[in-house]
Amino acid sequence: MIRVLVVDDHPIVLSGLSALVESDDGLELVAAARRAADALALTERPEITPPDIALLDLQLPDGDGITLGADLKRRWPALRVVVFTMHADDRSVTRSLGSGLDGYLLKDSDPDDVLAAIHSAARGTLVLGRGAQAAVVAAAAAAPPPAALAALDSRDLEILELLVQGLPTSQVAARLFLAPKTIRNRVSVMLDKLAVATRDEAIALGRAAGLGKAK
- Residue-range domain boundaries for the chain: 2-138, 144-208
DSSP annotation string for 95-126: HHHHTT--EEEETTS-HHHHHHHHHHHHTT--
Distance CA 105, CA 55 (A): 9
Q: Rounded CA gap, 174 and 146, in Å?
A: 28
How many whole angstroms separate alpha carbon 35 and alpha carbon 89? 22
Instruction: Specify the fold of 144-208.
Output: Arc Repressor Mutant, subunit A (1.10.10)
Query: What is the pLDDT, as a whole number, of residue 213?
Result: 63
pLDDT tens track, the chain, 215 positions: 999 999 999 999 999 999 999 999 999 999 999 999 999 999 999 999 999 999 999 999 999 999 999 999 999 999 999 999 988 777 788 788 778 888 889 998 899 999 999 998 898 877 877 767 666 655 555 554 455 577 888 888 889 989 988 889 999 999 899 999 999 999 999 988 887 788 888 887 787 677 776 55
pLDDT of amino acid 130: 73
H-run or E-run covering 3: strand 2-7
Does domain 2-138 fall under CATH 3.40.50.2300? My reply is yes
> What predicted TM-score, i.e. pTM, was given to this entire model?
0.67
Asked whether 54 and 103 are in contact (CB, 8 A), the reply is no
